[in-house]
């Protein structure tokens, strides 16, 4: 609490200093008057709009006092006479009242500043400026025993208040737009990161669920075997089988806990649906960064002839990211990756083609088998080989099919995915 108050105090002093300095850039509209139209008012208003967390009343008081001291010290330095201090303070006291009044009146609409339309906000601030100027002129007329205001002065001050208010609001709106764009850019980055994470987690969750189904089947078969052996009177063997069954059951429960933890990692608030074209564009953008990281020059192209909203964007991202990243890795230094989307006879067709090293004829029938791989790291160890088997299983889970199409060129790999449009399309 004390730290926040201290921070606000420093900010109020900075606002006051900026306003005092900006006020030196001025014009004196009325002959023989000390009343001025300067940039101090504009700077003060802009600071209030940009720093809405500050207490406007106290900010106005601090600014008014600072302006009074600043101008008095300036007059002393210019005249080299201490005897003029009181006269100088008397001259500049009305300006202090202007900033105090401005801060007090602005505090009445402070909570609603963000809700006002810029045009309406300009009207309100013009009125605040006009009233504050009238208070300054009234104080000046009382101190120096002069007429309060002439009609031409009132018109000039009104026009000045309007022009100054909308000028500052224009600058403030530019700042706000820039800030909003920065926030939107950060939000977009977060969404992209979460989408990447979700698509990666989806593949792992899918594989774990598949493994759990297998474990369930093994547990049932093991328990059936235990019952058969136990009925046959082979007690020693049946106990061993029962122990194995119990251990398999523990593995299943551990897998369930892991699966529950993975589900918690999913960010369900990112989006409830995406357009098919957005899924393709995101996959391209993500893998373009991957190719740059690998130092490869790859031309990514897309041809989207069908587009619709889908709530199955996570599995689609998992499928496309896996296939496109495989294509990036298959291209040695430079090449092209093309993604095509179309619809024929109620089926959405997705094609991922690349000009990489290609897949040999003898390997084509085995690429979707778990454990098969053509990738080896620098140490010569093979990759896990579960990527394409994942893709095949996810496609099958969506009721679709995937196959490798023979390319016109030997060094061309083309995967064709067919999925029912009604399964993917949102609201069908």
Which tens digits make up the pLDDT trace of 234-286? 877 778 887 887 787 777 777 667 666 666 665 555 556 788 998 898 888 88
Q: Is the pLDDT of residue 417 over 90?
A: yes
Give me the residue label for tokens 């709106």: 173
Write down the pTM of the prediction: 0.53
Mean pLDDT score, 331-353: 92
Q: Is the pLDDT of residue 201 over 70?
A: no
Q: Is the pLDDT of residue 34 over 50?
A: no
Model pLDDT, residue 376: 44
Q: Is the pLDDT of residue 66 over 80?
A: yes
pLDDT band at residue 379 under the 50/70/90 scheme: very low
Looking at mean pLDDT, say which of 41-50, 144-153, 186-195, 225-234 comes out highest: 41-50
Model pLDDT, residue 151: 58
- 274-424 is a CATH 1.20.810.10 domain: no
Q: 198 or 227, which is more confident?
A: 227
Mean pLDDT score, 20-49: 71
- What value does the mean pLDDT of the chain take? 78
Calpha distance 63→22 (Å, rounded): 12
């Amino acid at each position: 609490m004390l730290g926040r108050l201290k921070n606000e105090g420093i900010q109020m002093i900075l606002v006051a200093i900026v306003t005092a300095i900006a006020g030196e850039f001025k014009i004196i509209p009325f002959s023989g008057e000390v009343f001025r139209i300067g940039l101090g008012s504009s700077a003060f208003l802009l600071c209030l709009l940009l720093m809405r967390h500050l207490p406007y009343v106290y900010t106005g008081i601090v600014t008014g006092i600072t302006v009074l001291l600043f101008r008095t010290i300036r007059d002393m330095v210019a005249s080299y006479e201490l005897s003029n201090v009181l006269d100088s303070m008397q001259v500049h006291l009305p300006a202090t009242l202007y900033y105090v009044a401005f801060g007090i009146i602005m505090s009445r609409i402070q909570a609603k500043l963000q809700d006002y339309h810029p045009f309406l906000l300009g009207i309100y601030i013009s009125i605040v400026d006009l009233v504050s100027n009238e208070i300054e002129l009234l104080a000046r007329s009382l101190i120096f025993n002069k007429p309060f205001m002439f009609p031409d002065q009132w018109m000039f001050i009104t026009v000045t208040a309007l022009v100054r208010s909308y000028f500052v609001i224009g600058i403030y709106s530019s700042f706000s737009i820039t800030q909003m764009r920065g926030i939107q850019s950060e939000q977009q980055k977060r969404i992209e990161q979460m989408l990447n994470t979700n698509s990666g987690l989806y593949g792992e969750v899918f594989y774990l669920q598949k493994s759990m189904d297998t474990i369930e089947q093994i547990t049932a078969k093991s328990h059936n075997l235990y019952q058969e052996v136990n009925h046959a009177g082979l007690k020693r063997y049946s106990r061993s089988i029962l122990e194995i069954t119990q251990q398999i059951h523990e593995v299943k429960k551990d897998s369930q806990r892991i699966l529950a933890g993975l589900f918690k990692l999913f960010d369900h608030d990112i989006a409830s649906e995406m357009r098919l074209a957005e899924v393709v564009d995101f996959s391209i953008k993500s893998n373009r960064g991957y190719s740059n990281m690998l130092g490869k020059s790859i031309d990514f192209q897309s041809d989207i002839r069908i587009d619709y909203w889908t709530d199955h964007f996570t599995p689609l991202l998992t499928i496309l990211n896996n296939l496109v990243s495989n294509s990036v890795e298959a291209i040695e230094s430079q090449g092209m990756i093309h993604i095509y989307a179309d619809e024929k006879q109620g089926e959405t067709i997705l094609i991922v083609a690349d000009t990489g090293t290609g897949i040999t004829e003898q390997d084509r029938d085995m690429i979707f088998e778990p454990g098969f791989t053509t990738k080896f790291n620098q140490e010569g160890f093979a990759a896990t080989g579960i990527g394409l088997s994942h893709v095949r299983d996810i496609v099958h889970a969506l009721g679709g099919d995937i196959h490798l199409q023979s390319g016109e060129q030997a060094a061309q790999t083309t995967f064709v995915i067919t999925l029912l449009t009604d399964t993917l399309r949102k609201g069908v």
